[in-house]
């Protein structure tokens, strides 16, 4: 992909999916597990992933509701 292409410029500065997940886990203080042991660390990571997904679902519902409300008020 050429450095001057629009696709490259759009992608530049964005995080990959793994970096995004790691940042979300860090914001929830789960990057370094608060619980001792590998099984408990895996549970903490799983819980963090569930919280991230639940937050995404809530955001998607809110965005869809607002988009629908805007479409109804504008008559689109």
Provide the pLDDT for residue 65: 94
Full domain range(s) for residue 51: 6-74
Through-space distance between the first and last CA atoms of the chain, rounded to whole angstroms:
38
Burial class of 48 by CB neighbour count within 10 A (0 to 12, 13 to 18, 19+): buried
Q: Give a yes or no: residue 15 inside a domain.
A: yes
Tens-level pLDDT at each residue, the chain (76 residues): 677 777 777 666 666 777 778 888 888 777 777 778 888 888 888 888 898 899 889 999 999 999 999 988 887 6
Q: Give a yes or no: residue 1 inside a domain.
A: no
Total domains present in the chain: 1
Q: Give a yes or no: residue 49 inside a domain.
A: yes
Provide the pLDDT for residue 29: 79
The CA–CA distances, whole Å, from 8 to 1, 17, 18 equal 7, 17, 19
Cα–Cα distance for residue pair 44/34, rounded to 1 Å:
8
Provide the pLDDT for residue 58: 93
Cα–Cα distance for residue pair 12/25, rounded to 1 Å:
22
Provide the pLDDT for residue 6: 77
């Amino acid at each position: 992909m050429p450095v001057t292409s629009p696709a490259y410029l759009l992608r530049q500065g964005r995080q990959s999916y793994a970096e995004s997940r790691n940042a979300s886990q860090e914001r929830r203080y789960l990057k370094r597990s608060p619980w001792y042991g590998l099984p408990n660390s895996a549970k903490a990571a799983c819980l963090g992933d569930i919280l991230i997904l639940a937050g995404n679902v809530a955001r998607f519902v809110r965005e869809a509701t607002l988009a629908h409300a805007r479409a109804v008020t504008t008559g689109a």
